[in-house]
A and B are shown apart, each in its own frame.
Chain A
Amino acid sequence: MTSTTSTPLPAVDRPQPSATRGERGARRRIRKDLLRSRIAAWSAVVVIGAFGLLPVYWLLVTALSTPESTFQFPPKLIPTDLTLSNFTALAENDQLIKYMINSLVVASITAVLSVVVATYMGYSFSKFRYRGRRSLMHLVLASQMFPQALLLVTLYTVFSSFGMLNTYSALVLSFTTFTMPLCVWMLKGIFDTIPDALLEAAAIDGASRWRTLHSIVAPLAAPGMIAAGLFAFVRGWNDFIFALTLADKEKQTLPPGLVSTYIGEFQTAWPQLMAASLVVSVPVIVAFMFLQRYLVGGMTAGSVKS
């Protein structure tokens, strides 16, 4: 058997002139086993790929379908009557554009606020030893363990008392309550990897504590801060229930906006909803494309100490 690829074959694939019949049989068995395992591996890749990509494909197909063909049974994997009308309707909907702007504003401010707050808190937890430090750390983490509904009711009554309902501030502060704990722990892990000797050297050179944090530590922790910011942005971008409860139509973000617009008492406008979902995923996809190299580094930084 010959190979057309330029990759050198494994030793077992090369013809062995002096091989006995038994050895040749053994080689054939090995080749068969290799082929079987390759087929199995590729089959697994195809199945897993299809499993992951089919929903995306279906989303795209539905976004390009008419309402009648959406409910066709049995469903057609390759549709015949495609339309762009769902996308044009979306572009003409001023209210949806408003929701999108609200989402961008709120998610961006949440990301920045979460990173700023978490940087100070994470730095404090990582580099200082004081009474109650561990308790505070666990308290921050414990806030993640409350059911969202409980936090929501509390936040609603607080914002209501302060006249803050239906404002961007209410949304940003509420989103920050659930993005911040993870950001704090993520950044603490990253600050842990920065040697104390570096801080001491900076102090010897006359740098103040602020200067040390802002000019030395922060640049080193930048990938982690970007990852934390991205995490906070996505959480803020995707939140549904806080945005629905704490803001009115003027300040609401995309997830409640899309549900309000397309999911009704009697029916759901699936094609328009899918078209809108595709379009609104774009900012998150773009953010990931530009920042993904920081994300992996940021998420894993601090997991192994040098």
Chain B
Amino acid sequence: MTTSGISRRGALRMFGIGALGVAGAGVLGACAPSGSPSNGGDPKSKNFDFTSWSLNEEAAKPSIEKIIAAWEKAEKSKIRAVSYPYNEYLSQLTLKLGGGETTGAVHLDIAWLAAMAQMGKLVDLGSVVGRGGYTDVALKSGTYDGKQYGLPWNTGSIGVIANSQLLEKAGIKKHPTTVEEFEAALGELKGLGGGVVPYAAATKVAQLKDIFPWMQTFGCKMLDGGKVTIGDDASVDAVTWYKKLHDEKLIAADVDRFDARALFGQGKAAFYDDAIIGKGVTSAQSKDKTLADSMQPMERPVLKAGDTPQALLWGGVIAIVNGKGQDAATEFALHTTTDQATTSEYFSARALPPSTTAGLAAPEVARDSFTTEWTQKITRTATGSPFWQFAQNAQIEEAVGKQVQAVLVGKSKPKDAMKQAGEEVAALIKR
């Protein structure tokens, strides 16, 4: 029965017209293509895609476009440039690689390589990697499960940067090498007053993964033979020490990488953690045009003399997707990461260290003392995170970060927090 004398058929027709335009989209999910190891297309095609977040970025775009244009001209091929913002890159790539839309060469942060390799769509580049002349540490950054899935493009690390001007002001003549010396230096720097934060260490959850190298410094392996060791005495000691720095105002509350750069850029922080590119980024946003000259890479202090300084490996690799244009894309990746003229020019534009021995020895790179010093002091002993192999890496970092923050704000004891963090991480990797 209708309220206006219109039949049921008429009513349904009205509804039907309305629904027609959109209802289909929601119910056709079943038509989705199932995943396959290859993303389809002719592997011999000269044309392929190159996906990179850097293709969006003002600082990187012109140099990468130049590399692409030179390749297209030399090989008479066509490269389609694809890009997503860095913060969305992993999720977009996962969806599009799974959906078969991504082919060709793919620029990856080394932290994402394992997650991408597990999708089973990347080519094992073991047969071509020997032609590159890559350094050992660089090769490691492109390896997952014993296979070479990525050709290393730029290899660096996240380490500690010091401000030599402030150190001098505080009467610190050489970089501290042990945790004890470091703490004493921070005390001296605090004495400078004027709002100086001796060490602009990360204290916000988003960046508290920076605690990992300190945990390793104190002897925590984080993951040992598949067993999560966060919660052991070493991790508790590391967090107890971090809390002590916080309570003594040697590090500050609510600091992430952006805040740390801002503080350092204004001469208000003597040490902070950053990737090698931090020099360019931080000095560019500073009013002090001499700041770049005062920036020095520093080996992370060790617990006792003779220990290996800890640093997190950092960099980018180019991986190749099975399917359309994979052969040409492999040659392109090899050329981009190893051709000396190309890597030198790219270094001049972006100050990102090359990943080959010849690239590092090129005059443009060798002349840059910050880069060479960084490579020798920090990258030399840097290692990847044991959690990169898990797709839940971001949740793992967040879980640990939350517990560390709870300690810093006094809501939790280091022992309880690390035990809790260890349990949460164990649950996440079991999934």
Query: Which residues of A does B touch, CB under 8 Å?
Result: 67-73, 113, 116-125, 127-131, 133, 136, 143, 151, 153-158, 160-162, 165, 173-174, 176-177, 180, 184, 196, 199-200, 203, 209, 213, 241, 244-245, 248-249, 256, 259-261, 263-269
Contacts and interface: CB of A to CB of B under 8 A. Distances in A.
A272 B151 CA distance: 34
A263 B87 contact: yes
Most B-side CB within 10 Å, residue of A121, A199, A261: A121
Given A161-B32, A161-B33, 12 more contacts: A68-B287, A71-B261, A117-B19, A123-B14, A129-B11, A130-B12, A157-B99, A176-B21, A176-B22, A209-B6, A264-B56, A264-B58
Contact of A128 (B8, B18, B28, B59): B8
A155 B33 contact: no
B88 A73 contact: no
B270 to A, nearest CB: 16
A249 B83 contact: yes
B391 to A, nearest CB: 15
B4 A245 contact: no
A244 B285 contact: no
Interface string B218-231: 00000000000000
B71 to A, nearest CB: 20
Contact of A200 (B5, B31, B33): B5
A162 to B, nearest CB: 8
B53 A68 contact: no
A116 B22 CA distance: 11
A165 B101 CA distance: 10
A68 B286 contact: yes
A71 B262 contact: yes
Contacts of A136: 15
A121 B85 contact: no
B25 A73 contact: no
A14 B54 CA distance: 74
B363 interface: no
Contacts of A268: 258
Interface in B13-61: 14-15, 17-19, 21-22, 25-26, 28-29, 31-33, 53-54, 56-59
Contact of A203 (B5, B258, B287): B5
A117 B6 contact: no
A157 B12 contact: no
B381 interface: no
B28 A158 contact: yes
A140 to B, nearest CB: 8
B84 A117 contact: no
Given A261-B56, A263-B87, A265-B86, A160 B15 contact: no
Given A203-B5, A264-B59, A160 B83 contact: no
B250 interface: no
28 contacts: A67-B284, A71-B266, A72-B266, A117-B18, A118-B18, A120-B17, A121-B15, A121-B18, A124-B14, A124-B18, A128-B2, A128-B6, A128-B10, A130-B2, A130-B11, A157-B31, A157-B99, A160-B33, A160-B99, A161-B28, A161-B33, A176-B22, A259-B87, A260-B56, A261-B56, A263-B85, A264-B59, A266-B281
A180 B26 CA distance: 13
B19 to A, nearest CB: 6
A155 B268 contact: no
B263 A260 contact: no
A75 to B, nearest CB: 10
A113 B21 contact: yes
Contacts of A265: 53-54, 57, 86
Contact of B84 (A70, A116, A260): A260
Contacts of B84: 244, 260
A221 B416 CA distance: 61
B309 to A, nearest CB: 24
